[in-house]
């Protein structure tokens, strides 16, 4: 009797999503797995969306024309039908893995009517073969959403399906927000994409406009013109935006000091960091210290 009463109070939208997914698993892979140094897997591809959080060590994902490195605390999202090879780093790697069919996000989109807000269509483009691989750095909330999905799928406690669907919806929104804030969602310019990818992957380092332009394969003037055209920002302004976004994440979710966050995010001096932070956030970084 108690179970029936509880079920009658469960949100209908969650019941509807679960019913639509009937016969499909909420995840095909959900586990922690360790790889020995240099261990490889692939090349292979699959319809599933693959998410890996690097819990320990380093690893590489080899695609057709590029190799992306991942370090502890970073997240990779490999989209459907992208051929890739995994390679563990020199000290091995431990991953938190989650793989599921794209239909799960599609079902959430349609049932919750996220497309009316623009999120639904964004997710269709976001998790497409064209994006190949998404790298997420220093985002504790996304990591925790993945962790909660794994925990519920492993424990299978009462109503775990409902919680998993809720966490998938949270994951979809958090990833879409991250991409909106950190990378240009719609841009077909190859040089611009290379520049943005390089900045997002190397923002901790001492990089300059000339280095970014070289990595993008174009001149500095052309690079500046592209950033103004697509983002209405200079390359340096975009770099600082990325660094401040990471700084906010660290200040809110770790015990690190303002000085530690300053240098970890690629700034050379706490004074300059505080000035740029206040310009972008309208508050001192000290106000966000956990």
Q: Indicate if the pLDDT at residue 109 is higher than 90.
A: no
Same domain, 127 and 84: yes
How large is the average pLDDT for residues 147-154? 94
Same domain, 162 and 254: no
Same domain, 142 and 251: no
* Confidence band for 108, pLDDT divided at 50, 70 and 90: confident
Residue that is last in its domain, among 138, 160, 182: 182
For the chain, give the percent of residues with pLDDT over 90: 41
**273 prior amide bond cis, ω within 30:** no
pLDDT at 120: 46
Same domain, 168 and 282: no
pLDDT at 201: 82
* Confidence band for 249, pLDDT divided at 50, 70 and 90: confident
Which CATH number does the domain housing residue 50 bear? 2.60.120.810
Q: Which two tokens stand for residue 80?
A: 């459907």
Same domain, 144 and 239: no
How large is the average pLDDT for residues 132-147? 87
Q: Using one digit for the tens of pLDDT, what is the confidence trace for 117-138?
A: 444 444 545 665 556 788 887 7
How large is the average pLDDT for residues 83-112? 86
Average pLDDT of the residues of the chain: 83
> Could you tell me which residue, 249 or 93, shows the higher pLDDT?
93
Same domain, 113 and 24: yes
Same domain, 20 and 146: yes
Separation CA 43–CA 65 (nearest Å): 13
* Confidence band for 101, pLDDT divided at 50, 70 and 90: confident
pTM above 0.95, yes or no: no
Same domain, 169 and 197: no
CB atoms within 10 A of CB 121: 13
pLDDT at 124: 47
Q: Give the domain extent around 40.
A: 2-182
pLDDT at 36: 96
Residue that is last in its domain, among 138, 154, 182: 182
Same domain, 15 and 77: yes
CB 92 within 8 A of CB 57: yes
Separation CA 117–CA 121 (nearest Å): 9
Which CATH number does the domain housing residue 199 bear? 1.10.10.60
Which of these ranges, 10-19, 27-36, 170-179, 253-262, has the smallest mean pLDDT?
10-19
Same domain, 33 and 78: yes
pLDDT at 121: 46
3-state DSSP assignment of residue 113: coil
* Confidence band for 182, pLDDT divided at 50, 70 and 90: low
The number of folded domains in the chain is: 2
Residue that is last in its domain, among 124, 147, 182: 182
Q: Using one digit for the tens of pLDDT, what is the confidence trace for 36-66?
A: 999 999 899 888 899 999 999 999 999 887 7
CB 62 within 8 A of CB 84: yes
pLDDT at 105: 80
Q: Which two tokens stand for residue 173?
A: 């929104």
């Amino acid at each position: 009797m108690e179970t029936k009463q509880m079920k009658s109070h469960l949100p209908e939208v969650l019941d509807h999503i679960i019913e639509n997914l009937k016969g499909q698993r909420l995840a095909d892979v959900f586990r922690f797995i360790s790889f020995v140094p240099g261990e490889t897997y692939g090349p292979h591809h699959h319809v599933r969306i693959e998410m890996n959080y690097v819990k320990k060590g380093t690893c590489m994902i080899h695609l057709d024309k590029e190799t992306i490195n991942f370090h502890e605390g970073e997240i990779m999202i490999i989209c459907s039908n992208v051929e890739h090879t995994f390679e563990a780093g020199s000290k091995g790697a431990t991953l938190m893995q989650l793989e599921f069919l794209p239909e799960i996000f599609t079902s959430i989109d349609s049932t919750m009517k996220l497309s009316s807000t623009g999120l639904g269509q964004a997710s269709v483009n976001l998790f497409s073969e064209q994006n190949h691989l998404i790298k997420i750095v220093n985002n504790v909330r996304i990591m925790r959403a993945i962790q909660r999905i794994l925990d519920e799928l492993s424990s299978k406690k009462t109503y775990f399906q409902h919680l998993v669907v809720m966490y998938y919806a949270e994951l979809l929104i958090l990833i879409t927000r991250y991409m909106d804030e950190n990378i240009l969602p719609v841009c077909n310019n190859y040089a611009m994409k290379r520049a943005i990818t390089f900045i997002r992957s190397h923002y901790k380092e001492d990089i300059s406009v000339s280095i970014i332009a070289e990595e993008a394969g174009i001149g500095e003037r052309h690079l500046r013109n592209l950033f103004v055209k697509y983002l209405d920002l200079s390359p340096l302004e975009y770099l600082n935006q990325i660094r401040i976004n990471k700084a906010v994440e660290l200040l809110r979710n770790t015990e690190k000091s303002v000085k530690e966050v300053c240098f970890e995010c690629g700034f050379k001096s706490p004074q300059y960091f505080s000035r740029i932070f206040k310009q972008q956030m309208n508050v001192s970084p000290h106000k966000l210290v956990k």
